[in-house]
Structure 1
Amino acid sequence: MKRVVVTGMSAITSLGHNWEDFEANLRKKKNAVKIDESLKAIDGLNTQLSAPVEDFERPAHYKRKQIRSMGRISLMATSATENALIDADLLDEKYLKSGRMGIAYGSSSGSSEPMVAFGDLIKSGNMNGINATSYIKMMSHTTAVNVGVFFGISGRIYTTSSACTSSSQAIGYAYEAIKFGKQEMMVAGGGEELCPSQVVVFDTLYATTTKNDTPKNTPRPFDKDRDGLVIGEGACTLILEEYEHAIKRGATIYAEIVGYGTNSDGMHVTQPTKETMAVAITESLNDAGIKASDIGYVNAHGTATDRGDIAETNATEMAVSSNVPISSLKSYLGHTLGACGAIESWASISMMNNGWFAPTLNLDSIDPECGNLDYITGDGREIDTEYVMSNNFAFGGINTSLIFKKFK
């Protein structure tokens, strides 16, 4: 078995595109949720809130020919990946095209714009607006394919599209590809662009917040007065590398990935099951070969939905312990869907290395039905720990758990 380390990281989020800005906004308790005027125009939609990335633009050096098959989601994924490869000092053809570097990347869906044109085709037989790249922008594996083609990555490719676990599964698959000696380096992550269709999906399930007049007071993960989630967007890439390969070339190592667990509830498409969620968490602990008591912090999925928060926190108590510190970054960013697992892994690693962990915003009164855990509130918490866990759960009963170890 090979050891797997993280040697590059980069993210595009509504709180900033580098760790310094992101952490500063966490410490300021800045909430990126805003009133979304475009949602007001949708008849019958209950929520009017979203958490957009407002300052992302196509990098000036990206030539038109290079990006003609990219929508916004792929542009964000490609930009995040470029910066992560630069961070890892691997933006070099001798690595990218060696066959020893692969890619695992995911999203819930592709870009929205071409979906409209295909909808017109199905509805009225009108092909206007459809061209040779429309499907490539729209397809669920658009991020993985576009990132791979842009950089000429020629190793194995995993295209993960599993809703809210898209990027956590991508990191897990990338970790296993290196661990079992199939690749030496992997680009891993996920992205999502804000789309009204995704908002509507959760709204029809009565899972979105309706606190439309007080956007800064929502979402409220784990709080007894929570009323649903907010949809966000973003992208994040981690560069994973075989330990000896990284050491040999003198790479900076941010953390070691030591555990990954994933499974399926096999019960219900939208109702989570705490027992199988706990099994996935336990699988991650077993993979890492550590005790539950070794985990110093859990980054929760924490969407602020009724059943989701209750199932997740009780599963965490069952598998880890009742005194484990826990918080949810979705209280700042909203739910970034296919990007959340990677963004939260990036943040968990960075917080572990800095020794300060962000609180959950808007958590004033813990729901008594939630698990008995050490919920971080107030100004956050200074914690010196060797291990952090990041958990994500998705429609279809897909459960994931990742464990990162501080590199010394």
Structure 2
Amino acid sequence: MKKRVVITGIGAVTPLGNTMETTWNNVVKGNSGIAPLTRIDSENFQVKVAGEVKNFNPADYIDSKEARRMARFTHFAIAASKMAMNDAGLKVGDNLDGERTGVWIGSGIGGLDEFEEQHKRFLAKGPKRVSPFTIPMFIPDMASGRVSIELGAKGMNNCSVTACASGANSIGDAFRVVQNGITDVMIAGGTEASITEMTIAGFTNMTALSTNPDPTKASRPFDKNRDGFVIAEGAGIMILEELEHARSRGARIYGEIVGYGATGDAYHITTPAPNGEGGQRAMKLALQDANITTQQVDYINAHGTSTYYNDLYETQAIKKVFGDHAYRLAVSSTKSMTGHMLGAAGAVEAIFAILAIKEGMIPPTINYSTADEELDLNYIPNSCKETSVEVAMSNSLGFGGHNATLVFRKFN
């Protein structure tokens, strides 16, 4: 018999704040974390804005010597994981068996910043000056590995690398691990820190990024004048816990994860399948897995990247799956405030979905000013909506045709 799985802790580092509390407070207020680009010199780049994490000090969470042997994406993952475990009131060795605790943290790109830095050193000073920590700094699985070391989690340890669906796939796959009784607890989510010269050059040359220099207008999902996504960084972590394990210790429960659907487009390396066909199937599978009807869904945290095809095809997919109910449910893109955190996006947005249920607040899509006649759903423009949310869905779609949908329900 499959186990029920609840969320008992959350942690995040985002452009909106270095804690989940600060991030959520800014989200419901409709504040933006997008600002002028500072992590690289933007003079030679068309892109001028980004969603950067600000005033983050890894020494607040990690031994300084060890922190120097890690990339920024790993710093974020450890910080968010420690916050989430503290939020859940869990500690291996006290009230938690390390062998029954796993980690599944995805990253789309990993430590590309460290790879670029070491490659420059290689070209300037030769191979002997390359750090011996280069490989373990930049491989994407190292965030998950380092978190397990820091927290003593000896259960299943894994990393999903599915581009912008990495965080959502990691949570969904971790859900299956707890659901099937393999572990009692999974530390799950996504992390990314790829605001680098090569990343921005590559995305810009494929015309994926917004070149709007105005931070208040660059990320505008579902708006007719959208011109691309805004690159961002951060991490989001959920503590997924088997229900009876949580009950036995009197844990505070945010909500329940009840459905997961994952599909492949088999269509194109970057463009989603027409009409969001793969996304349609992911949503249908997640609803079927959750044993929930379309009429029961109150809110969808959309992938909503602010690119032409994503916003069009995701809207078409929602209409196809939900029929007339598509016009009654709320759909919003929090990327309008965070920017696109790539492999961390799905995890942070899953947290927003569960908080929408717990707090009765649906985050807005900010910077929405000009309606697109093809995009006619209720995108919660510019200010949050206070309302009861029983069921929320979060969509994540990645390059390579990866689609992941998570369904959360109010815990009763």
TM-score by structure 1 length? 0.94
Contact 1:262 1:280 in 2 (8 A): yes
Counterpart check, 1:400 vs 2:367? no
Contact 1:299 1:344 in 2 (8 A): yes
Match of 2:80 in 1: 80
Residue identity in the other structure for 1:346:
I
Match of 1:205 in 2: 206
CA distance in 1, matches of 2:385, 2:136: 44
Residue identity in the other structure for 1:172:
G
Counterpart check, 1:331 vs 2:330? no
Q: Identify if the C-alpha distance between structure 1 residues 186 and 27 changes in structure 2 by more than 3 Å, giving closer, same or farther.
A: closer
CA distance in 1, matches of 2:157, 2:24: 32
Contact 1:97 1:152 in 2 (8 A): no
Deviation of the 1:160 alpha carbon:
1.1
CA distance in 1, matches of 2:114, 2:96: 30
Contact 2:330 2:378 in 1 (8 A): yes
CA distance in 2, matches of 1:327, 1:248: 36
CA distance in 2, matches of 1:156, 1:329: 31
Counterpart check, 1:380 vs 2:361? no
1:263-342 aligned at under 5 Å gives the runs 263-273=263-273, 274-320=276-322, 321-323=325-327, 324-342=329-347
Contact 2:58 2:67 in 1 (8 A): no
Contact 1:299 1:327 in 2 (8 A): yes
Secondary structure at the counterpart of residue 160 of structure 1: coil
Match of 2:12 in 1: 11
Secondary structure at the counterpart of residue 215 of structure 1: coil
Deviation string, structure 1 residues 147-175 (Cα, Å, up to 9, x no partner): 11222211011211111111101100110
TM-score by structure 2 length? 0.93
Residue identity in the other structure for 1:318:
K
CA distance in 1, matches of 2:96, 2:27: 34
Contact 1:120 1:127 in 2 (8 A): no
Q: Identify if the C-alpha distance between structure 1 residues 224 and 113 changes in structure 2 by more than 3 Å, giving closer, same or farther.
A: closer
Counterpart check, 1:346 vs 2:346? no
CA distance in 1, matches of 2:12, 2:283: 25
Deviation string, structure 1 residues 180-208 (Cα, Å, up to 9, x no partner): 11111100011111323222222111111
CA distance in 2, matches of 1:97, 1:68: 30
Q: Identify if the C-alpha distance between structure 1 residues 20 and 84 changes in structure 2 by more than 3 Å, giving closer, same or farther.
A: closer
Deviation of the 1:281 alpha carbon:
0.5
Deviation of the 1:65 alpha carbon:
4.6
**Residues paired across the two proteins, number:** 405
Contact 1:109 1:141 in 2 (8 A): no
Counterpart check, 1:368 vs 2:373? yes
Deviation of the 1:37 alpha carbon:
4.7
Match of 1:50 in 2: 50
CA distance in 1, matches of 2:38, 2:20: 29
Residue identity in the other structure for 1:202:
F
Matched residues, percent identical? 34
Match of 1:240 in 2: 240
CA distance in 2, matches of 1:316, 1:353: 24
Task: Note the residue ranges of structure 2 that are not aligned, 5 or more in a row.
Answer: none
Q: Identify if the C-alpha distance between structure 1 residues 2 and 28 changes in structure 2 by more than 3 Å, giving closer, same or farther.
A: closer
Deviation of the 1:343 alpha carbon:
0.7
Deviation of the 1:129 alpha carbon:
4.0
Deviation of the 1:397 alpha carbon:
0.5
Residue identity in the other structure for 1:314:
Q
CA distance in 1, matches of 2:126, 2:283: 48
1:42-191 aligned at under 5 Å gives the runs 43=44, 45-60=45-60, 62-93=62-93, 98-120=98-120, 126-191=126-191
CA distance in 1, matches of 2:131, 2:223: 47
Contact 1:14 1:32 in 2 (8 A): yes
Deviation of the 1:295 alpha carbon:
0.4
Contact 1:95 1:101 in 2 (8 A): no
CA distance in 1, matches of 2:349, 2:112: 24
Deviation of the 1:13 alpha carbon:
1.1
Between 173-182 and 318-327, report the one with greater CA deviation: 318-327
Secondary structure at the counterpart of residue 24 of structure 2: helix
Residue identity in the other structure for 1:397:
G
Secondary structure at the counterpart of residue 391 of structure 1: strand
Contact 2:141 2:158 in 1 (8 A): no
CA distance in 1, matches of 2:402, 2:110: 20
**Aligned CA-pair RMSD:** 1.9
Q: Identify if the C-alpha distance between structure 1 residues 95 and 202 changes in structure 2 by more than 3 Å, giving closer, same or farther.
A: farther
CA distance in 2, matches of 1:367, 1:3: 41
Deviation of the 1:41 alpha carbon:
4.2
CA distance in 2, matches of 1:128, 1:48: 35
Task: Note the residue ranges of structure 1 that are not aligned, 5 or more in a row.
Answer: none
Residue identity in the other structure for 2:71:
G
Moved over 6 A (4+): none
Contact 1:117 1:128 in 2 (8 A): no
Contact 2:40 2:196 in 1 (8 A): no
Deviation of the 1:243 alpha carbon:
0.6
Secondary structure at the counterpart of residue 25 of structure 1: helix
CA distance in 1, matches of 2:356, 2:38: 34
Deviation of the 1:33 alpha carbon:
1.5
Secondary structure at the counterpart of residue 16 of structure 2: coil
Deviation string, structure 1 residues 267-312 (Cα, Å, up to 9, x no partner): 1111101112100100000000010110000000111001111111
